Copies of this chain bind each other. A is one copy, B any other.
Amino acid sequence: MTATLSAFMKEYKEVLERELKELVAALQAPAVLKEAMDYSLQAGGKRIRPMLIFATLASFEKNPRIGLAAASALEMIHTYSLIHDDLPSMDDDDLRRGQPTNHKVFGEAAAILAGDALLTYAFQVIAQDESYSNEEKVVLMKWLAEAAGPEGMVGGQMADIEGEQKELTLSELEYIHKNKTGRLLAYSVMAGALLAGATEEQLKYFEQYAFHIGLAFQIQDDILDVEGSEEKLGKRVGSDSANHKSTYPSLLTMEGAKAQLAQHANLAREALLQTKAESALLLDLVDLIATRDQ
C-alpha cells in the first residue's frame, strides 16, 4: 500500500469508527440492543466500502467528511449482512475477524434484531443528516435500497444459498458475486461521486470502475480461501472447497482466476482514467483490493 493511501485510510477509519460509536450511543434503545450493534460495528476490518466513498470525494478535491453519513449507513448495512450471514441457519460461523460472531456473544434472537436494527438505522442516518439536500437523500436511499435489497445483496445471498452444493456456471457465479458483494461496493463509489457533484458521464465511468473492483474483490476472496493465511484472515481457509462451493479457482483453475483478477483490475484502472478525476487514491485502492492478504 502506498504511504498516501495508508495515511488516508488510517485517518478516515478513525473518523468513521468514532462516528459509528456516537451514532449508536445516541440511540434511545434497550442497552443490550445497542451493545450488540456496537459489538459488530467495532469489530474492525479495513472499511473498504467507506474508504471508497471518502476517496471518491477526495478525487474531486472535496472534503471526504461530506461522505460521513453515507459511509456510516453503508457500514451499518454491510455489518448487518455479516451478522445475519453468520447465523446458524445461514453460514453457521463462530468466528468473524478472529472474534466470536454476534450470535455467539448475544444469542441468536438478539443477533437477528441487531441486524434488523442496523439495517433500519442506516436509512434513518441518511434521512436525518443535516448536510445533505432532500434530493441527495432520496437518491442515496434509493440506491442503497436497490444495492442492499432483493435486487442486490439479499438477492445475491439467496442465490448463493441456492447454489451451494451444485456446480455453477461462470455466469451464475458472476450473478451471485455481482449482487452479493459488488452492488454495495458500487454504491460506495456512486454515493461518493453523487455527493461530489459528478456529471452523468463521470457517474457512468465510476460505475464501471466500481463493477470491476467488485469482481476483483470477490475473485481475490476466492483465491484467499485457497492460498490465504488463517492468522491474517481471522477465519478458516479451505471452507469453499470443503463445502463443494463453486468458486473462480474451481471453475477457471487458480491460474485462470488470477488472470481474471488482473483483467478486472486493469478495466477498473481504465474506467478511472475516463472519469478525469484526480484518481491517485482510487488507483491505489485497486491495487489494495487486488493484492490484499486479509
Contact = CB atoms under 8 A, between A and B. Distances in A.
A274 interface: no
B145 A123 contact: yes
B113 A157 contact: yes
Interface in A25-41: 27-30, 32-34, 37
Interface residues of A, number: 49
Given A33-B158, A134-B134, A134-B135, A150 B90 contact: no
A110 to B, nearest CB: 7
Contacts of A87: 112
A111 to B, nearest CB: 8
A33 B154 contact: yes
Interface stretch (A57-65, A136-144, A199-207, A280-288): A136-144
A174 interface: no
Determine how many copies of this chain the complex contains. Answer: 2
B28 A151 contact: yes
Among A113, A151, A155, A158, residue most surrounded by chain B Cβ atoms (within 10 Å): A158
Contacts of A89: 107-109, 112
A19 interface: no
Contacts of A141: 123, 127, 137, 141
A117 interface: yes
A123 B158 CA distance: 20
A124 B146 contact: yes
Contacts of A142: 124, 127-128
Given A112-B112, A127-B138, A135-B134, A27 B151 contact: yes
B121 A29 contact: no
Nearest to A36: B158
B138 A134 contact: yes
17 contacts: A28-B155, A37-B150, A89-B109, A113-B158, A116-B116, A116-B119, A117-B149, A117-B154, A117-B155, A120-B150, A121-B150, A123-B141, A124-B145, A124-B146, A127-B138, A134-B134, A134-B137
